[in-house]
Amino acid sequence: MRDVGVVIHLAARVHVMHENVKNPLEEFRKVNVAGTEHLARSAAASGVKRLVYVSSIGVNGWQTDEGRVFLETDTPNPHNVYAVSKLEAELSLHCVAAETGLEVVVVRPPLVYGMGAPGNLAQMLKVLAKGIPLPLALVHNLRSLIYVENLVDALILCTTHTAAVGQTYMLSDGEDISTSDLLRHLGAAMGCPVRLFPCPQALLKLAGRLTGKSDQVERLLGSLQVDSGKIRRELGWRPPFTLQQGLQATAEQYRTR
């Protein structure tokens, strides 16, 4: 990292859908904690001024209750071993910063969407493209998202702004949306009919448990809202793209693949 001024650290062990090790937390720690600390100490030793670390909203928790949003001041409540490792990585970075003078900035994004996004969003796009009916008409949750271009814009700002040093920031597009409305927006952008029909959520959760997909079902049904006001107030950040623009670009890119 000779002659490097800033490091933006996104690499991690993540999206391990079928874990086959005896101690998953230790495997996550090897990369996400020990690897991150090694990178930070190497950066400091090489004269790097600042490290911007992309953590996870999972550090705050699994989901939010009605009327509640995640804030930077919340007590951490990581919901799985991946989120535990990301929290431990944050703590290790602050220790390195105190010892070496390396400037550290932490961001915790929610679901990042855009071309090539994995997980539930990719499945949604595939299902919509095929016109498959979905039992989600009664889902009125609220979830915060961030378009990948908005994330990049915020990360670039965090590499230079003097007020960002030592801070943790939540990020989002600033417009929360339900799963059912998300599907409608994506379908409209793709030019595909969106066929939603009502189904009791209790039945959907039961189906998730029976099929071993409870986590995926909970993400579709539950709310997860973040307040990105801190980075807007302190750094003057405004997402350059609206939620509608981000979803339109995501759907159009998928349609042209």
To the nearest 10°, report the CA torsion of 115, 117, 120, 126: 40
- What would the two tokens of residue 183 be? 């599907």
Q: Is 206 strand, coil or helix? A: helix
Sign of CA dihedral 80, 226, 215, 222: positive
Burial class (CB in 10 A: 0-12, 13-18, 19+), 143: buried
Contact 173, 246 (CB under 8 A): yes
The Cα-based distances of 257 to 187, 190, 193, 247 in angstroms read 16, 12, 19, 16
Helix (H) or strand (E) segment spanning residue 123 = helix 119-130
Q: Which residue from 9, 35, 90, 30 is spatially nearest to 57, judged by alpha carbons?
A: 90
The Cα-based distances of 144 to 109, 150, 176, 178 in angstroms read 9, 13, 5, 9
* Residue 113 annotated in active site: no
Catalytic residue among 82, 147, 169, 254: 82
Catalytic residue list: 82
